[in-house]
Structure formats: C-alpha cells, structure tokens
C-alpha cells in the first residue's frame, strides 16, 4: 500500500527544521510578534498558547530539541516513523518534525488545513503501518482526538481506533487526560504514553509521570504539609527564554547557586510515593469557594469518570460562596441543541446525576470539592491544540445562567 504523500508545506517545514538543527537559520512557523534578536544556537521560535496571559515567543536551542528527541526515542524503545496530526506551528507538532528529522525516517503528515476525523487518521496510519517493516510507528495526539476515535468505534466506525492500536506508542498531551479515557484506550489496545511539558521545555519532558533522561522535577515552595507545590522543571531541554521580554524570562527561568537552571511552571503538583509526578492543574486555576481552595484537576477526573466525558471545573462568581464550583462535561455525541451566542449550548444534568457527583466528590475529595451545578455540552472551547479555554467555559456558564 503506498504511503500518503507529504503536504508540500509540511515538507518544506521539515527540511527547514532539519537545517536549523544542523546550525541553519531558526525556523519561525508563525509571524514574529517582536523584533528582538534571536539568540545564537536557536533552532525554533515557538509561540506559547497564551493560556497564562499574552502569547510569547520562546527561543528553543538546537541542543534542547536534540536532547528532547533523543530522550523521547530512548524512552519509547528506539527511533521510528512518525505520523503528524497536530498543527506544525505549535511545539507538539514541531517536535514530531524534529524527531522524524533526527531519526532519519519517513514522515507521514495530515494536511495542516484538514479537519481531524477518525477515518482521516486511519488513512494516514494504515499505509505507514503497512510499509514500516521493523520500524515502530509513533503518533502524537491530544485527548479530544482519542475521545473522538473511541466514540467513532462505539458508533460502528472502528478504522481509526484499530489503526491507532497498531502503533508502538501514542503520545498524549496538550491537556490533562481523564482517567476514564485512559482506561478505555487501554481496553482498546492503544499504548498511550501521557506527556507533560510546554513550549519552554521543548514540549513533553515528563512521560507517564517520570522525567525523561536528564530532566529534573522539583516542587517549590511546598505547602506546609510538604506534599503540594509549584512544579519546576530543569535539565537540557529548557528554552533560552522569551524574546523581547527580559523580565518574564527572569521570572520564569531561574538559576541556582550551583548553576542548575530551572523553569517555573504555572502548575501545582505532588510527587507520588513511587516518585512520579502528579500534576494537579494550574496554580491560578484554583477555585476559592467559601474560603477554601479547590484544585480543579481532581474534581475534573472524578466528574469525567462518573459522567463519561471530558470535564472542566471552574469557579463562577457567587454572592454566597464567592465562587461557586461548576462542572461542564463535554460529550460529543450528546444532543445539546443549537449553539448560543458564545458557543455550544449547556444542558443541566438531571437531579440524580448531580446528586451522584456531589456525593462522590464529598466522599473522595471533601465537601468543598462538590460542584454546585453540572452541565453537559457538545464540546469545550479550546485555546491551542487540546487546551481547554477555562475563561471560555466560565463565559458559557455565565451566559447560560443569565438567561436560564
């Protein structure tokens, strides 16, 4: 079976990435936002998603990208053939190009303008798998894509999921993956590897909670209990900094007296007894309800498990509680009616489902973590590949409740 031809724009970009890794000009996949000079040794200028504020340009050295790709292949079991389904303008998609270029293996890529569909993924994967020989085949996805593959298979269109199950590894990142989604993927035979990282760390640098070779993880400053803190990442995959923003670079990238350099993320985390990292969500996503701090991530995992969907938990202004904890669950197959002015329509879950969610949250996480209201919708608003736009979710809830 012939392998799909590489879209010309992706082929040109891949060649430029390969040249940049060998000392050529830095690749700039999106229009520049500053006129700041590019540091020597930079191979990629990547724009952040803006989820922590204004998007910034991140300078990624060739050495950081090589270290990341080498450690990734080492963790996965060796270089292989990569299939690109993510936008080649963000760090996750660009890293697929980097790994393919350094492995020296053929690349298969979707048209950057094409909409992701399960059958479209099968059209990419099947020829690659059939012609790969002894080479492992890898693909990088976001949780929403895996959810659509599972839903399609359940609805009688299993090609995409069947092809995915033939891959040696499926890197899953860009957003937290609900545990029920991981369980369903595993049941379908999909070999998922969850990844955690960001543009400033050359993409994913912690796989299944364990840092890649050379990567270091620490929590600072810890809470009084010593269990939870802000995640900092160190090692050879770090960016040089933000172009044209020395203050932001100094605030985010810190150097210890011994010379070790660290990037301070915006995420809270804890280290499990086995030493792996559990990310609890962004520090500024914490909801203060009734004077108690509630991290959304554990609540989202519980709600997603109970209601079989991707959940987003936010705080909505409330006269009594300051912020009321509200959960919105995306169920693409759900019938939620027409969209409203700000996005998909919200439908409250029935009283029995709400009571079940609140009871489970109270038992497992404590009473403050029990959502006051729970809605279903067809899809959560996104900011960047796979990243939920929490401010967009708040806007949806406020609009719905203003007109309810």
pLDDT tens-digit readout, 74-93? 999 999 999 999 999 889 99
pLDDT at 83: 97
140, β-bridge pairs = 171
Residue 94 confidence (pLDDT) above 50: yes
The answer to whether 206 touches 213, Cβ cutoff 8 Å, is: no
* Phi/psi of residue 107, nearest 5 degrees: -115, 140
pLDDT at 343: 52
Model pTM?
Answer: 0.80
pLDDT at 332: 55
Residue 330 confidence (pLDDT) above 80: yes
In a domain, 269, yes or no: no
In a domain, 231, yes or no: no
pLDDT digits (tens, 9 = 90+) for 112-156: 888 999 999 999 999 999 999 999 999 999 888 998 899 999 999
In a domain, 297, yes or no: yes
CA distances to 93, 167, 242 from 231, rounded to whole Å, are 24, 31, 19
Residue 339 confidence (pLDDT) above 80: no
Domain count within the chain: 2
Tell me the pLDDT of the chain averaged across its residues. Answer: 89
In a domain, 105, yes or no: yes
192 and 297 in one domain? no
Residue at which a domain ends, from 207, 222, 240: 207
Provide the pLDDT confidence category of residue 357 given band limits of 50, 70 and 90: very high
Highest mean pLDDT: which range of 297-311, 332-346, 373-387: 297-311
Residue at which a domain ends, from 207, 236, 267: 207
Q: What is the mean pLDDT of residues 244-252?
A: 94
Helix (H) / strand (E) element for 262: namely strand 261-271
In a domain, 86, yes or no: yes
CA distances to 38, 49, 140, 175, 362 from 91, rounded to whole Å, are 18, 10, 11, 13, 38
pLDDT digits (tens, 9 = 90+) for 309-322: 889 999 998 878 88
The answer to whether 293 touches 322, Cβ cutoff 8 Å, is: no
Residue 381 confidence (pLDDT) above 80: yes
CB atoms within 10 A of CB 246: 11
Q: What is the mean pLDDT of residues 307-335?
A: 84
Rounded Cα distance, 385 and 194, in Å: 15
Residue span of the structural domain in which 317 resides: 286-403
Rounded Cα distance, 256 and 258, in Å: 5
164 and 298 in one domain? no
């Amino acid at each position: 079976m012939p392998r799909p031809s590489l879209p010309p724009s992706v082929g040109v970009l891949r060649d430029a990435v390969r040249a940049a890794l060998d000392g050529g000009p830095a690749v700039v996949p999106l229009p520049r936002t500053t006129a700041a000079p590019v540091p020597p040794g930079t191979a990629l200028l990547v724009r952040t998603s803006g989820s922590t504020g204004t998007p910034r340009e991140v300078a990624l050295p060739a050495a950081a990208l090589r270290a990341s790709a080498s450690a990734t292949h080492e963790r996965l079991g060796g270089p292989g053939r990569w299939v690109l389904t993510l936008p080649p303008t963000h760090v996750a998609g660009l890293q697929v190009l980097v790994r393919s270029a350094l492995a020296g293996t053929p690349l298969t890529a979707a048209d950057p303008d094409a909409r992701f569909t399960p059958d479209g993924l099968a059209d990419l994967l099947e020829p690659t798998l059939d012609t790969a020989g002894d080479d492992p085949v890898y693909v990088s996805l976001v949780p929403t894509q895996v959810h659509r593959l599972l839903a399609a298979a359940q609805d009688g269109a299993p090609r995409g999921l069947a092809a995915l199950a033939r891959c040696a590894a499926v890197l899953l990142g860009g957003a937290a993956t609900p545990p029920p989604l991981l369980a369903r993927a595993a049941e379908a035979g999909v070999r998922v590897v969850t990844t955690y990282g960001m543009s400033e760390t050359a993409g994913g640098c912690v796989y299944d909670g364990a840092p890649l070779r050379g990567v270091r993880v620490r929590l600072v400053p810890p809470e009084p209990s010593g269990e939870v803190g802000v995640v900092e990442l160190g090692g050879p995959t770090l960016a040089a900094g933000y172009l044209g923003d020395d203050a932001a670079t100094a605030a985010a990238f810190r150097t210890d007296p011994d010379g070790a350099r660290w990037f301070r993320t915006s995420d809270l985390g804890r280290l499990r007894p086995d030493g792996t990292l559990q990310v609890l969500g962004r520090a500024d996503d914490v909801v203060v309800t009734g004077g108690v701090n509630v991290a959304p991530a554990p609540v989202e995992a519980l709600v997603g498990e109970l209601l079989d969907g991707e959940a987003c938990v936010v705080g909505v202004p409330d006269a009594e509680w300051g912020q009321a904890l509200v959960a919105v669950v995306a169920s693409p197959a759900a019938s939620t009616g027409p969209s409203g002015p700000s996005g998909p329509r919200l439908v409250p879950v029935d009283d029995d489902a709400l009571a079940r969610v609140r009871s489970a949250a109270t038992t497992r996480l404590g009473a403050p973590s029990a959502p006051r209201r729970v809605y279903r919708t067809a899809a959560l608003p996104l900011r960047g590949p796979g990243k939920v736009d929490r401010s967009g979710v708040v806007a949806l809830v406020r609009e719905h409740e203003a007109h309810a």
